[in-house]
Amino acid sequence: MANAATSTVLAAAVFAGGCFWCVEAVFEELDGVKDAVSGYAGGSKETANYEAVCTGATGHAEAVKIIYDPAKISYRKLLEVHFATHDPTSLNRQGNDVGTQYRSAIFYANAEEKKIAQDYIAELTKNHAYNKPIVTTLEPLKEFYPAETYHQNFVCNNPNQGYVQAVALPKVDKVRHKFADSLKKESPLDKK
């Protein structure tokens, strides 16, 4: 008899929406998300490091790879959370984080993900969900490069850090309130 844990087929989604610390912390809250990994997407392997990406000249975005169980949470739900927890109308910036590395992007792995994202953006636009046009880019996922170790689980490991307090934790609070029915029983932040 097969173990249920080993028969689970996991999927991955890669989103960018400003600082990857914030994006990672938001998705770690969701039931069905097994892991969220901070990293870089949109550029080459040679420039997939924090120092280079911070220049804004590498083509990379600070992105998060979300490993999830599609039987528990859908790609569409991940998109809903993503669009609710960052500003998809702000071109190449989120708050005080400015540059192409902070762009709003969906890195799609296949035609199905691209279509779901296009349809969702069209729905948001039709419903006038935002006062300004959505500028989120849809980019083919060529490669995802995990960020340096010190960036992983940054919010959980540094809950009292100034940026975390001012920017990341309010986004976590937003997802906790808006998506209360989709949360893990115990938040990774509460385990610290």
Would you please indicate which residues are annotated as catalytic (active-site) residues? 19
Give the C-alpha separation, 32 to 173, whole Å.
18
Give the C-alpha separation, 64 to 146, whole Å.
8
What is the residue type of 147? A
Residues with Cβ within 8 Å of 101's Cβ and at least 6 positions away in sequence, in order, are 53, 54, 56, 58, 60, 61, 62
Question: 83-110 burial, b if ≥16 CB within 10 A, otherwise e?
Answer: bebbbbebbbebeebeebbbbbbbbbbe
